[in-house]
Amino acid sequence: MSEIQSTCCYCGVGCGVLINSRNGRITGVRGDPRHPANFGRLCGKGQTLHETVDGHGRALYPELRLKRSEPRQRATWDSALEHVAARFADIIKKHGPDAVAFYISGQLLTEDYYSFNKLARALVGTNNIDSNSRLCMSSAVAGYKATLGADAPPTCYEDIDHADCMLIAGSNAAWAHPVLFRRIEDAKAKNPDLKIVVIDPRRTATAEIADLHLAIQPGTDVALFHGMLNALLQEDLTDPDYIAAHTAGYDALKALVSDYTPDFAAEVCGITTEELLTAARWFGNSRAALSLYCMGLNQSSSGADKNAALINLHLATGHIGRAGAGPFSLTGQPNAMGGRETGAMANLLIAHRDLNNAGDRAEVAKLWDVPAIPGRPGKTAVEMFEAIRRGTIKAVWIACTNPAQSLPGQDAVREALAAAELVVLQETYADTETAPYADVLLPAAGWGEKEGTVTNSERRISRVRAATPPPGEARPDWRIVCDFAMLLEHKLHGHASLRFAFDSPQQLFNEYRELTRGRNTDITGLDYATLDTKGPQHWPYRIGARQGQPRLYQDGKFPTADGRARFAAVAYKPVAENTDTRFPFRLNTGRLRDQWHGMTRSGRVARLWGHAPEPAVTLNPADLARRGLASGDIVRLESRRGTLNVIAAADSGVAPGQAFLPMHWGSRYLSGAGINALTLPVIDPKSFQPELKHCAIKISKAALPWRLIAFGTPRDGDALAQLARVQAWLPEFEFASCALMPDAGGVLLRAAAGAAPATDVLDAIHALLELDSGDVLRYDDPARGNARRVCIDGERVVAVCLSGEGGSESWLREFHAQGLPAAALGSLLLAPGTKAPAGAVSRGRIICSCHGIGETAIVSALQGAAGDATARLGSAQQQLLCGTQCGSCLPELRKLAAAAMVAA
């Protein structure tokens, strides 16, 4: 058994992990107590990382197809790379370098990013390189640059401990950044006077900790921040000395915000004037105000302006460059920051140089020893796929990202992938939504198998280390890029230089480090040895420094020509797509607590399915009632771009007229093209980030009278293999969803259609669930469309398929999940619409994933306890252990405890 220090590969908190391995297999993971991002804590996703690395769905060998109509065949690395290099060279020679593109990922390590960036700009000669960070962080980049002069969060995690006012805007940190949120909870517990304002159209788990929740209308953030500044001015709560000494452009902003009176701004935002004034007063009167913000600001057609308008508040009050104060953009992905630092996005250049600046381009060209870096702007993510669809870009190399799930306007994206002359996919997993479009699949090493570095939200660089070699023939991403680059260089120029002759990620890091010299990201004092001995370090870390710099701009000097920060006088613009009588609902998207992005990784872990067991759209209960809908109904969501059938659920945290759909569900878990069939590919003109957070939809009850629910535990115990087989059948139905079942180690399939499918479809589903042989109880009533199968093994229900009329699925699911004795129930198991027998008490939704504790047991323990909400929670935790491990469920436990108090 060995244990190695590395970093979690999910979110931008960047928690340190200790990976256990034995005989070349990763066997476990725990939080690294020495890592300054988490001090040993991990959330549910981090704790189960070791369950994501086994062979299921892994890309193990290069695969290649010469014709689209044929399946890919296994190939050697040499033949696959030779083929891709020949095709790229051919396309570049015929159509120019901008006829190819690279779409890469915030999952990549800094060294991978650097190699891709050098390949695209120095060898191919194109700026058509963009990262999926475009979908999450580019508005933050634009906001920082427009105001502070450089893309650099000026804050660090420690500031959470020093703030006495916290503005959490457009961020459900309780679910998206759970370990960071534990720190916020600790700060609030230590200092009850800490004022927390949560700005979010939804009442999220994060809002539960708020002293004030501003449930603004979607997209109205700029009006809110301007209204707050107007109030700060009126009440003399700005810092004129700071403004005079360290900023520029205040007069223009002051003139602009004079129109945003608190009354006017509050009306635009749909909140009360008093709420707006309270937020402004807390912010202005605080000793140190910290803002934490994320996708709610970024994923917007005016995301750059939202970021800048929030930063205006910090500059106007001097809440920046001090302990506990500053605008702190939280990064979604583990190495979104690394991508920004290495300039691996279409409109950036390495080490925060400016692509539009000829001097910066010349400097990079000199350092890379190439004649020039192209000045033509590259295509950003949404533009890139549009160019592929139009045929301007003919070949695309996609690395570690899943555009056929994650980009908005899926119909057009899939059309683009189908139209491309060549799609190369460099991936750890071979079963993503994008994989079927790939002509060439290049297997990449995954978490626990790679060496390099990542930068987290607070500019802290951590080492990523390999605990085991990659499986099959998978290779580290940087190695694939460098091998390809040498082949391509030969084909383009008749020789291969030493530009890509790297033997280790450390060599790439050292070369990249040189390009940061004298820049604001300067890490010339840092190397792998320092990171190994001193642990994770903030940038900048200049030569001769003893440590990195946790806080920026403490001297009030900003990286602009005159050293002053800039106020941004930006007018409020409404969301790009408005509602009307045809599309009356506002669709908001976001994260679930226990899933990650397109679920390529987290979807493989049964335990992570307990908290949100099936794809669902949530609506305010009043909207459900008004439309004659109930929780559990299948509804049809329709936007101006596409449709999606999904189950509806009630959530009073969703405001009337709005709907919330998690970002995770793609076509591997739902029939159709997934959630992004609906979303809007309109982009912010400054940051080029699409407005994934808002579009207009209509909602109606799906007219799909034929229903099926099937679940079972496979006899060989291999639920992931069964899930893959079930997923292949989703497109057969007008509505279908599938999921892993955390309790019984099985798979759940739900389907609906306008009419019963052909018998062979049903036979196939029965066979998939192993209901076609053995001890299976059967009931068929073709006249009523009923076909029911229940397989009993000894006393236990092991598989069920009910099609036609329903009525008993919920208690049959409990019998299956809890292993309750069922044999004695006999024919009762088969009768449609039968009531639950005694003993089949639903455990409810799993609230505590670590200990598998359901809502029913928690509510019962809370109601049975005495005292106030805190005492009841303590008692329930003692009894059930819920919330005592990773703590991600604490916000929900507190909410249930408060409800139990009210009930008492």
Phi, psi dihedrals of residue 261, rounded to the nearest 5°: -60, 155
Q: What are the helix (H) ranges across 258-409?
A: 262-269, 273-285, 295-298, 303-317, 336-341, 358-368, 381-390, 403-406
Q: What pairing do the DSSP bridges indicate for beta strands 100-104 and 395-399? A: parallel
Nearer CB in complex with ligand SF4: 38/138: 38
Binding segment for ligand SF4 (CB under 6 A), chosen from 5-13, 110-118, 540-548, 673-681, is: 5-13
Q: What x/- string results for residues 127 through 166 when contact with ligand SF4 is judged by CB under 6 A?
A: ----------------------------------------
In three-state form (DSSP H/G/I as H, E/B as E, the rest C), the secondary structure along 47-83 is HCHHHHCCCCCECCCCEECCCCCCCCEECCHHHHHHH
**Whether the Cβ atoms of residue 396 and residue 420 lie closer than 8 Å to each other:** yes
Provide the minimum distance between the beta carbon of 337 and ligand SF4 in the complex, in angstroms, as a whole number: 13
Q: What x/- string results for residues 322 through 341 when contact with ligand SF4 is judged by CB under 6 A?
A: --------------------
Give Cα separations from 677 to 314, 406, 634, 640 (angstroms): 38, 10, 17, 10
Nearer CB in complex with ligand SF4: 423/461: 461
Q: Which of residues 530-559 bind ligand SF4 (CB under 6 A)?
A: none
Provide the minimum distance between the beta carbon of 15 and ligand SF4 in the complex, in angstroms, as a whole number: 3
Q: What x/- string results for residues 175 through 194 when contact with ligand SF4 is judged by CB under 6 A?
A: --xxx---------------
Q: What is the DSSP letter of 35?
A: -
Q: What x/- string results for residues 25 through 54 when contact with ligand SF4 is judged by CB under 6 A?
A: -------------x---xx-xx--------
Compute how many residues bind ligand SF4; rule: CB under 6 A. Answer: 14
Provide the minimum distance between the beta carbon of 532 and ligand SF4 in the complex, in angstroms, as a whole number: 20
Q: Which of residues 459-518 bind ligand SF4 (CB under 6 A)?
A: none
Provide the minimum distance between the beta carbon of 850 and ligand SF4 in the complex, in angstroms, as a whole number: 12
Nearer CB in complex with ligand SF4: 49/100: 49
Q: Would you count residue 13 as binding ligand SF4 (CB under 6 A)?
A: yes
Q: Would you count residue 698 as binding ligand SF4 (CB under 6 A)?
A: no
Q: Would you count residue 10 as binding ligand SF4 (CB under 6 A)?
A: yes
CA angle 899, 900, 903 (to 5 degrees): 90
**Whether the Cβ atoms of residue 385 and residue 407 lie closer than 8 Å to each other:** yes
Phi, psi dihedrals of residue 655, rounded to the nearest 5°: -70, 150
Placement of tokens 């009442």 in the chain: 203
Nearer CB in complex with ligand SF4: 649/847: 847
Give the SS3 label for residue 829: helix
Nearer CB in complex with ligand SF4: 331/432: 331
Nearer CB in complex with ligand SF4: 712/883: 883
Cα 284–chain centre separation: 33
Binding segment for ligand SF4 (CB under 6 A), chosen from 92-100, 174-182, 540-548, 680-688, is: 174-182
Give Cα separations from 304 to 135, 168, 319 (angstroms): 13, 17, 20
Contacts of 683 (CB under 8 A, 6+ apart): 301, 380, 382, 383, 689, 690, 691
Virtual CA dihedral for 744, 746, 752, 758, nearest 10 degrees? -130
Binding segment for ligand SF4 (CB under 6 A), chosen from 65-73, 172-180, 857-865, 894-902, is: 172-180
Provide the minimum distance between the beta carbon of 717 and ligand SF4 in the complex, in angstroms, as a whole number: 27
Provide the minimum distance between the beta carbon of 209 and ligand SF4 in the complex, in angstroms, as a whole number: 16
Q: Would you count residue 8 as binding ligand SF4 (CB under 6 A)?
A: yes
Nearer CB in complex with ligand SF4: 15/160: 15
Provide the minimum distance between the beta carbon of 186 and ligand SF4 in the complex, in angstroms, as a whole number: 14
Provide the minimum distance between the beta carbon of 335 and ligand SF4 in the complex, in angstroms, as a whole number: 11
Q: Would you count residue 606 as binding ligand SF4 (CB under 6 A)?
A: no
Nearer CB in complex with ligand SF4: 173/552: 173
R_g of the chain computed on alpha carbons = 27
In three-state form (DSSP H/G/I as H, E/B as E, the rest C), the secondary structure along 422-474 is EEEEEECECCCCCHHHCCEEEEECCCCCCCEEEECCCCEEEEECCCCCCCCCC
Q: Which of 15, 488, 840, 882 binds ligand SF4 (CB under 6 A)?
A: 15
Nearer CB in complex with ligand SF4: 453/520: 453
Q: Enter the tokens of residue 103.
A: 């779409």
Provide the minimum distance between the beta carbon of 555 and ligand SF4 in the complex, in angstroms, as a whole number: 32
Q: Kind and range of the H or E element at 4? A: strand 2-7
Provide the minimum distance between the beta carbon of 9 and ligand SF4 in the complex, in angstroms, as a whole number: 8
Residue nearest to ligand SF4 (CB): 46
Strand ranges of the sheet holding 195-199, from the earlier edge strand across to the other edge: 212-214, 195-199, 165-169, 289-293, 326-329
Give the SS3 label for residue 741: strand
Placement of tokens 């940051």 in the chain: 687
Binding segment for ligand SF4 (CB under 6 A), chosen from 10-18, 345-353, 738-746, 750-758, is: 10-18
Nearer CB in complex with ligand SF4: 117/888: 888
Asked if residue 262 has a cis previous peptide bond (ω within 30° of 0), the answer is no
Beta bridge partners of 853: 848
Q: Which of 5, 6, 14, 81 binds ligand SF4 (CB under 6 A)?
A: 14
Nearer CB in complex with ligand SF4: 11/744: 11
Q: Kind and range of the H or E element at 244? A: helix 240-246
Q: Which residues bind to ligand SF4, rule: CB under 6 A? A: 8, 10-11, 13-15, 38, 42-43, 45-46, 177-179
